Amino acid sequence: MNKMTLAYIAGFLDGDGSIFFQIVKTKSLQKPFSIRGSIQFSQKRENAKILELLYQYFGVGYIRHRKTGVSDYTVVEFKELERLLLLLGPHLVLKKQHAELGLEILQRLKTQRTYEDFLGICRLVDKFGQLNYSKKRTITTKAVNSFYQNNIVPL
């Protein structure tokens, strides 16, 4: 892939994009929590053509047009998140730490075997919340640990 194009896309991600990782509750009794990650580019609906170009360029993810007049191009699959973070990471400025931490989370998810491993990943996700100045985040490492201590759940 052309370095100039990747640098341009990284600049777009720095300005009008976001990288998220969060702990989410699942419906599974065997695995009541999981990690969700995404890269998202946002634009006014009338400028959504750039999002369509990104979708064509990367060949993954989806475009959503919100009622608010904003459109998003979002990638959520871990394998593709890793690929995009590796491609764009060297060109990022404002979100360089986000990309590095995201890659660490994705690597750890590949080797996670135990509850302690999962808690370690949750701690990294908590750091992500601090990078993004998240105020609404309710499921943290502390909440996960408390849930496991108060419920009989297979580990």
Any idea which residues carry the catalytic annotation? 15-16
CA distances from 154 to 29, 30, 115, 120 (A): 8, 6, 10, 18
Q: Map tokens 């108060």 to a residue.
A: 150
Bridge partners, 33 (sequence order): 25
- Cβ neighbours of residue 95 closer than 8 Å, sequence gap 6 or more: 13, 14, 17, 18, 19
Bridge partners, 22 (sequence order): 36
